[in-house]
Amino acid sequence: MIRRKTSAGRGKSWKDMPVIKLKSTAGLKPFDSKKALADRDKVAMALAESIMEGDQEAFLEIMAAYIENLNKAGLAREAHIGRKTIYRILDKEANPRLGTIMAFMQAV
């Protein structure tokens, strides 16, 4: 019978790592994502850029974040799509139709 080697124990642990102190946060400003998502031009540029790069996942994430920041019923009226469709877009498994995306883009 062939004898198998046992694997060696772990060499390092996170407990062995030195603690690193960060620099002061004096020059940093808090980032408010709601304020950035309120700017339609920035959102439209980000959506267009994700289309140009062919990044469907980024497009859906930007679209969902923008919708979360808005009045969903008002967006549904403006885009002429159902409110339930808006909520379906927010689902992580969402795969909206081209017509839905076009209506959303015209509303943005």
The 10s digit of each residue's pLDDT in 35-89 is 888 888 888 899 899 989 999 889 888 888 888 888 888 888 888 888 888 888 8
Find how far residue 103's CA is from the centre of its chain: 21
pLDDT score, position 52 = 93
Residue 59 contacts residue 94 (beta carbons within 8 Å): no
Query: What residue ranges do the domains of the chain occupy?
Result: 33-107
Q: State mean pLDDT over 4-30.
A: 75
**The two structure tokens encoding residue 68:** 């979360």
pLDDT score, position 49 = 93
Residue 1 confidence (pLDDT) above 70: no
Distances (CA, A) of 46 to 8, 12, 87, 94, 102: 49, 42, 21, 19, 15
Residue 83 contacts residue 76 (beta carbons within 8 Å): yes
Q: State mean pLDDT over 92-108.
A: 80
